Structure 1
Amino acid sequence: MGIHLFLWLLSVTTSCLGSTNVFNDKRELQSKFFNEDWMMSIPDTTPLSAITIPGTHESLSLYGGPLVCQVWTLENQLSVGLRFFDIHAGIWIWTQKYLYIRDRYWMFSQGKKVDEVLECIAKFLEVHKSETVLMMVTLHGLYKDTAKELWATLVDTYKNIMLTSNSVPNMEQARGKIVLLQSHNGPSGGAQVQSSPFFKNNELISHKVDTMELRLDVCKSHFVLTDMETKRFRIKSQKNLARRVNQQIYNVVLQSKKSSASQGCLGVFGMIFPGAELIKAMTLLRPCDCGGAGTPEATPEPTPEPAPTNTRTSTWTNTRTNTRTSTWTNTWTNTWTNTRTNTWTNTWTNT
């Protein structure tokens, strides 16, 4: 591939790849598509931002006619391998004691509390300890200060499994944890996020992207997010949008897989109506090579200091009389050198 990853606006249709499942609008998820522990093989030292992570845009907008963005429940999204979730929540009236999930336009309730979302994710991570979940929370409504207070209470409740630092953790630090990402209208805290270099206005950018630039983007101290943009009251158009953009994302994944220099340097994706095979293809990419950050390095053995050399010469004469046999004089010289391996030489003469 040289030093560039080539990205096209390809004029291919879904039929070009046969039955590739890049789009899904069916609520049922067959168990053959479960992909619950795909992060297990990722080295502990890998920065989380250097992993291609599939996720969903408006992850829990399951109801609302033209504003529907997903069909799988949160449980099914976790089971199929999705690990990034875009959550929109708030309170409708000031007397509410819980944050409720709604669509991004704040029109349709999804009948679920944020408490329930966090509990569901926590239960999943308790069983699948090798995994991590990225979460971006956007707060809506007229009472955002109250919403922020309610969110702060939830963070404190789940503080043992929630990372809110603005830095990117590595895989070891993130396993079994929820990693909060910063949102423009979200609560404080969370890792920094940069917009994707791949798409603009839901179109694949038709130019070369330097592989070094890609690697620098995802290996820095922030996440790179490709997030789809949906249109209000255009459900048919949204599904057509998902078919087209998901196909383009799949093409990018295939191109990345062929590149030895930039495989896996794609970042995080927030998709609508993603298909199981598209998700699987993303999880099979190896992490981006951040100059060895994703591969444990052998710790070099320290170079031992040279052992002191001791040279000593001793000369003495022993005279002893043995009345049973004879009288003899035993004279010898003992000279040795003491090094790390303790070798020495002895010379002597007997008379």
Structure 2
Amino acid sequence: MDHTVAALLCVLVVGVFGEQTPAFDRTDVPAITLLDWMSYLPDNLPLSSLSIPGTHDTMALYGGTLAECQSWSLRNQFNAGVRLLDIRPRHYQDRLPIFHGVSYQRTTFNEVLKDTVTFLKDHPSETVLMRVKEEYEPFQNTRSYYKSIAEVVGEIGEQWFIRSSSLPTLGEARGKIIILQQFSSNGEGPDFGPPYPGRMSISDEYQVSDDAVKWAEVERHLNVAQNGDPEKTYITYCSGTHWLLYTPESLARKINPRVLDYLNTKTSAGRRRSMGVVVMDFPGAELIRQIVLDNWA
């Protein structure tokens, strides 16, 4: 790793209140900022080949212990280095408020996109992958979910999006949003981006009755990703819950430190590629940093 990259990945210590560890963070502000980490990677790399930190239910900051999955605002998630978002708009009276289950998250799809565009204007070397999935029950709509998504994308500006059936190179994606589409187009128009899950390899065992079993699956898929096809997208969810045994937070406290230990002890011997996208609840900033550093391993 050269001195420029090392400087990029330096630690910025900030004053915060709440619990903050290298792997788990329940505070408002991350302890490390990685604003432009993609700028140090070459343009010709396929996005699918990168190691990318992501957040599960990115906007789930409200609703109590069963609903809350993050404590950082979207801006602070970007600042920490997160580049994959998991966005869940509900279709409600032709609008798109963000929900987690029954819990309204005090924002809208329009606001999420505006904040993402603001970030990309300030950091044009970066790109943002955005899984978009319809959440909860539709209510009193006069048009399809696709049409409502299309209206918001049009309001934001098509120039901020790449509509492609697969992930492009990093150079092609800089300064853009790539929607991973988990809803039907119903023949009403072109897809917004690669279909989710489509041809991706995804591990998302979110119903968890034993954290040891969950970790075994996470570790298995991280190993699969590192030995897989560089042109295929691998996404590993470290998140999960159980109505009685685990909240998103309590499971993150158990799984996130294991992911960090895995990153700190893995070797590059025999690896064909990076570990792909790693999606987390309440990630610690050092955990995110180690995922980013995997691009130079």
Match for residue 142 of structure 1? 138
Match for residue 250 of structure 1? 260
1:204 aligns with 2:216: yes
TM-score norm. by structure 1 comes to 0.66
Deviation at 1:277? 0.3
Cα-to-partner distance string for 1:281-322 (whole Å, 9 max, x where unaligned): 11112268xxxxxxxxxxxxxxxxxxxxxxxxxxxxxxxxxx
Q: Aligned partners of 2:33, 2:291: CA distance in 1, in Å?
A: 14
Deviation at 1:227? 1.9
Q: Is there any run of 5+ residues in structure 2 with no aligned partner, and where?
A: 1-19, 186-190, 209-213
| Higher share of residues assigned strand | 1
- State the one-letter code of the partner of 1:195: S
Q: Among the aligned pairs, what percent are the same residue?
A: 29
- State the one-letter code of the partner of 1:35: L
Q: Aligned partners of 1:186, 1:111: CA distance in 2, in Å?
A: 25
- State the one-letter code of the partner of 2:261: N
Cα-to-partner distance string for 1:25-84 (whole Å, 9 max, x where unaligned): 112335xx1110011111110000111100100000000002100000000000010000
CA contact (8 A) 2:55 2:86 kept: yes
Q: Higher Cα Rg: structure 1 or 2? A: 1
Match for residue 294 of structure 1? none
Deviation at 1:232? 6.2
Q: Is there any run of 5+ residues in structure 1 with no aligned partner, and where?
A: 1-18, 289-351
Call closer, same or farther: CA 1:237–1:186 in 2, change over 3 Å: same
Match for residue 295 of structure 2? 286
Call closer, same or farther: CA 1:25–1:263 in 2, change over 3 Å: farther
Deviation at 1:168? 1.6
- What SS does the aligned partner of 2:158 have? coil
CA contact (8 A) 1:199 1:226 kept: no
CA contact (8 A) 1:44 1:172 kept: yes
| Higher share of residues assigned helix | 2
CA contact (8 A) 2:239 2:251 kept: no
Cα-to-partner distance string for 1:168-197 (whole Å, 9 max, x where unaligned): 2001001001111132x4664422542346
Match for residue 40 of structure 2? 41
Q: Aligned partners of 1:68, 1:237: CA distance in 2, in Å?
A: 9
Match for residue 10 of structure 2? none
1:195 aligns with 2:201: yes
- State the one-letter code of the partner of 1:42: L
CA contact (8 A) 2:90 2:98 kept: yes
> Which of 153, 163, 166 is matched with 1:155 structurally?
153
Match for residue 167 of structure 2? 168
Call closer, same or farther: CA 1:252–1:100 in 2, change over 3 Å: same
Call closer, same or farther: CA 1:90–1:208 in 2, change over 3 Å: closer
CA contact (8 A) 2:263 2:290 kept: yes
Q: Aligned partners of 2:296, 2:105: CA distance in 1, in Å?
A: 35
Deviation at 1:198? 9.9
> Which of 237, 254, 275 is matched with 2:247 structurally?
237
Call closer, same or farther: CA 1:236–1:126 in 2, change over 3 Å: same
Deviation at 1:139? 1.1
Match for residue 99 of structure 1? 96
Deviation at 1:215? 5.2
Call closer, same or farther: CA 1:26–1:149 in 2, change over 3 Å: same
- State the one-letter code of the partner of 1:102: F
CA contact (8 A) 2:86 2:132 kept: yes
CA contact (8 A) 2:27 2:71 kept: yes
Q: Aligned partners of 2:85, 2:220: CA distance in 1, in Å?
A: 29
- State the one-letter code of the partner of 1:179: I
> Which of 268, 275, 284 is matched with 1:266 structurally?
275
Deviation at 1:230? 2.9
Call closer, same or farther: CA 1:38–1:234 in 2, change over 3 Å: farther
- State the one-letter code of the partner of 2:144: T
Call closer, same or farther: CA 1:129–1:235 in 2, change over 3 Å: farther
